[in-house]
Amino acid sequence: MVGKKKVEKKKRKKVLDGKGIIDVKLSFNNTIVNLKDSNKKTLTIVSAGNIGYRNTEKVTPFSTKNIVKKVIEEVIEFGIKEVELQLKGISPMRNIMIEEFFKYKDSLSINEISDKTPVTFNGVKPKNQPRK
């Protein structure tokens, strides 16, 4: 009879200064949350696909709430107390994401919320005029 292997969970190193960055990339198809320390080194990545959602389930309010819960668990595990929230992209779940982070304000403090969405300046090149 073959015994089961014991799988030990890796011990996570605590962030020394207690500060971190939550980088959120939003799109119409998925939401990706990247947790970084103050030196911008990636600690963990959480997305709707990682949690187990597929196809159109990835962009629902319920999946967004579960992503935030998972990120908050990781933040507490790393010992981060102060967070900077950076949002990039447009999505219908953007406001829900921000509201969910503020529900956990007793366990962490959000110092700054910034929008990193790229904006085009010149727009599309105009169509050429036909020759005479």
Output the tens digit of pLDDT for each of the chain's 132 residues: 566 677 666 667 787 788 999 999 999 988 999 999 989 999 999 999 888 888 888 889 999 999 999 999 999 999 899 999 999 998 888 999 999 999 988 888 999 999 999 887 878 888 888 887
DSSP string, 85-115: EEEES--TTHHHHHHHHHHTTTT-EEEEEEE
Beta pairing class for 109-115 and 19-26: unpaired
Q: 21-115 domain in CATH 3.40.109.10?
A: no
Extents of the domains making up the chain = 21-115
- Please tell me the pTM assigned to this model: 0.79
What SS3 class is residue 31? Answer: strand
Q: Count the helix, strand and coil residues of the chain and give each as a percent rounded to the nearest 5.
A: 30, 25, 45
